Amino acid sequence: MAFITINRENFYYNLHQIAQKIGSKEKIAIVLKDNAYGHGLELMAKLASEFGIKEAVVRNYSEAMRIGLLFERVLILSGEVIESDKFTYAINSLDDISHIPKGTKVELKVDTGMHRNGIGVDEVDEALEQIGVYRLELVGLMTHYRSADELTSELFWQKRRFEEIKQRVRERGYSDIRMHSCNSSASLRLDSIDEDIVRIGISAYGYNELSYPFDTIRLKPILTLYASRVSTRVVKRGERVGYGGGFVAPKDMTISTYDLGYGDGWCRGDSSRPYTTSEGLSIIGRVSMDLISLESSDDTIVIMDNAQEASRQFRTISYEVLTALSVEIGREVI
Ligand SMILES: *Cc1c(COP(=O)(O)O)cnc(C)c1O
């Protein structure tokens, strides 16, 4: 069986590095959306809680229900709203407000430039009024940066715009609600964070997505993906391997199939530029639904121990490589 190991020590190392950078671990809200970036929702929630993290951020109510007991507060980014003392819901549009049950704890997300979710900068007054009319309990004000990981000034004008909104919301009488805007890259990049929490995803899992000179905080990947051998054969020079027969053996080779494929969320990629594992084994021929071929007869192979390196090979980002990994793959803490 293909399987995943999660390295507890590296996870705690990353959280410790982040806590040092931002000043305290109490400020870390761990982002566990999408099966904890493919690492395993319950498993990562338990580890984070044992480290002392008090808050989680998830995609929807169903994720929140699975981990709620472990945290003091869970921020739910979208989807169905079911009132709970512990859960807070991001308001993604003005239209959301009238559909949320009375008394629900909400956090107003303001669109300061990303133009994805959140109410417009010029809708803030109306949103506050509506929140009053529908008797929602406003507990937070938040925004999300569109380019925190790019070394441009983008982060700074968006941040300044958010500062203006914060001021305006305080002036409207909401002086004790919490305010937050930083994801991993913004948290690692800004000199100081004067906000109540930071929403930490990818960096907790071991990836600093910033370039020089902001990549000095070294983090350690925590997920390793293994595949197990299914069968082995000798392929003679000139014989072809896999769908389409695109791979022609240049010599007699001992080739095994391993139990990982695109059905497990492994990227099928382009077989003319095959993925190469950290141990230097290139995938032979096309990736099948449940199988890949490698020139090896080892029973277990490390397919990936660094999603950032893998993502460069696939010309995508670490987030996509990780979140794609099927929930069906067994995950174990080491
Ligand atoms: C996913 C997400 C984050 C975490 O981003 P990272 O880059 O993984 O740290 C933070 N805030 C919001 C609103 C998100 O959707």
Q: 3-state SS of 191-229? A: CCCCCCCEEECCCCCCCCCCCCCCCCCCCCCCEEEEEEE
Q: At 192, is the pLDDT very low, low, confident or very high (cuts 50, 70, 90)?
A: confident
| Encoded tokens for 26 | 């109490």
pLDDT for 255? 98
- Taking only the tens place, the pLDDT of each residue in 201-240 is 999 999 999 988 888 899 999 999 999 999 999 999 999 9
Decide if pLDDT at 148 tops 90.
no
Nearest atom in ligand 1 to 117's CA: 13
CB of 285 within 6 A of ligand 1: the answer is no
Question: Greatest CA span in the chain, whole angstroms?
Answer: 78
The two beta strands, 55-58 and 28-31, are parallel
CA distances from 179 to 63, 144, 167, 184 (A): 23, 11, 11, 16
Q: How far is the CA of 275 from the centre of ligand 1 (A)?
A: 28
Mutate to test the pocket of ligand 1, among 144, 188, 219 (most ligand atoms within 8 A of CB): 144
Contact 283, 303 (CB under 8 A): no
279 C-alpha to ligand 1 centroid (Å): 31
Distances in whole angstroms, Cα of residue 186 to Cα of each of 62, 158, 181, 277: 28, 11, 8, 31
pLDDT in tens, 73-129: 999 999 999 999 999 999 999 999 999 999 999 999 999 989 899 999 899 999 999
φ/ψ of residue 120, rounded to 5: -65, 155
According to the model, what pLDDT value does residue 317 have? 97
* Cβ of 4 below 6 Å from ligand 1: no
Cα separation, 116 vs 59, in Å, equals 15
Whole-model pTM? Answer: 0.96
Q: What band does 156 get if pLDDT is binned at 50, 70 and 90?
A: confident
Whether the Cβ atoms of residue 223 and residue 6 lie closer than 8 Å to each other: yes
Mean pLDDT of the chain, nearest integer:
96
- For 264-286, what is the mean pLDDT? 96
CA 297 to chain centre: 34
If we measure between CA atoms, which residue out of 71, 44, 63 comes closest to residue 333? Answer: 44
Extended strands (E) in the chain: 3-6, 28-31, 55-58, 73-76, 87-91, 105-111, 119-120, 137-142, 178-180, 198-200, 223-235, 240-241, 247-248, 253-258, 292-294, 300-304, 330-333
pLDDT category, 147, cuts 50, 70, 90? confident
Residue 230 amino acid letter: V
Alpha-carbon distance 189 to 178, whole Å?
A: 21
pLDDT tens track for 298-329: 999 999 999 999 999 999 999 999 999 999 99
Closest CA to 247 of 273, 276, 266: 273
Residue 110: CB within 6 Å of ligand 1?
A: no
